[in-house]
Amino acid sequence: MIKKFLKYAAAAMVLATTIQVTPTFANPVTNGQIDATKEQINDFETKIQQLDNRISLAIEKSRELNEEIVIQQDKIEETEAEIVKAETALENHKKVYSERLKSIQLNGDQSVVRYAELLLSSGSVSEFFNRFTAISQFIESDTELLNGLNEKEQALIEAKEQLHTQIDHLKQNQVQLAAEQEQIEKDKQQIETDLAAAEGTLQAQLAQQEAEQQAAEQARQQLEQQQSLVTTTTTNTPAPALSPASATPTAVAANVASSATANAVIANAKQYLGVPYVWGGSTPSGFDCSGFVSYVYRSVGISLPRTSSAQQNVGTRVSLNQLQPGDLVFKGMPAYHVGIYIGGGQYIHAPQTGDVVKIAPFNPSKFSTASRILK
């Protein structure tokens, strides 16, 4: 009995010592807090993708406006050339008109506009009517011609003014578009700052949680060592294992459909892993999300629209729980982000500014629609 009592007393001392040496944290981090921070980071990333999409659309719109301005300027130059031609023709016909008037004058020193004197100088009634008829026909035909030329010139001038008005309107749209893009970039910078702060919080939480788990593991090991000294057998519940920070990417080849086209799409997409995100980018020097998708699909002979919202309307709509490799997955309705599902619960995409083309875990709850392009 005395030996048993001594053993229990020693065990009690060990437990008391363990409690004293185990580090304590004023505010232990819970999994719920970490999950909340991760959700906050996800929300910030979504907002950044939405702003990136708006900037890419603005860039595309600006390109279209520039093209339209060039077209209108070409039309103005053509119209100005037509105006010069019309003015030249009008002046030439005025000269001809003047020469004709002079040719029917009886005397070289008569005024061009003195038709009455010309008529009154007629020697007979028949000569009077002949001169009157000739002058009337001459005046009528040349007046119609001159009026027609004058009307054409005025019409061309009005057309030129309308073209200038259209260009002014297009340029105003450009200014508004630039102002909108500038505001979007400012908003994006603020969100990026908030995102960086949230990511810092997450790293601190994960570090504290790891420290707490390591302290608990050390205390458990110390308890086992001290218990072994008093030959007391205790049952310890192992500390929970640390969750890996991120899942190790698994090979997706086994999950890729047998379709040679799907294999080609995915293989080609992976060639551009690490290419930086660039607003409006559609080449390997830099991609935005829809530019990346359209470029990859073009490599297998499939032409897709330029923007993610337009790509969302192509192909056959499929369930997010029945995806096949090569399907397009979209966020938003209309879409503000797009990627390519590659199988194995993963997709490849150009995420956002400051990031690169990468493979990421696919969570159906974060997406709105999916489309099947490959048959």
Question: Is 169 in the active site?
Answer: no
Distance, C-alpha 265 to centroid of its chain: 22
Sign, CA dihedral 269-273-277-278, equals negative
Query: Taking a C-beta distance cutoff of 8 angstroms, is the pair 52, 278 a contact?
Result: no
Residues 339 and 324: their CA atoms lie apart, in Å, by: 13
DSSP 276: B
Question: Do 341 and 323 contact (CB within 8 A), yes or no?
Answer: yes
Q: Distance between CA atoms of 73 and 179, rounded to whole angstroms?
A: 24
Annotated catalytic residue within 93, 164, 169, 349: 349
CA distance 24 to 21: 9
Cα 241–chain centre separation: 43
3-state secondary structure of 156: helix
Can you count the helices (H) and strands (E) in the chain? 7, 8
Work out the angle at residue 110's Cα, subtended by the Cα atoms of residues 108 and 112, and round it to the nearest 5 degrees: 105
Q: Cα(96)–Cα(112) distance, rounded to whole angstroms? A: 13
| Residue 337 annotated to the active site | yes
Burial per residue of 200-232, b for 16 or more beta-carbon CB atoms within 10 angstroms, e otherwise: ebbeebbebbeebeebeeebbeebeebbeeeee
Task: Kindly report the length of the chain.
Answer: 375
How far apart CA 174 and CA 166 sit, in angstroms, is 12
- Rounded to whole angstroms, the Cα distance separating 290 from 270 reads 16
| Separation in Å, CA 154 to CA 85, 150, 158, 182 | 13, 6, 6, 42
b/e per residue, 129-139, with b = 16+ CB within 10 A?
eebeeebeebe
- Answer yes or no: 289 catalytic: yes
Rg (CA), the chain: 42
Alpha helices in 104-124 (DSSP H): 115-120
* Active centre residues (catalytic): 289, 337, 349
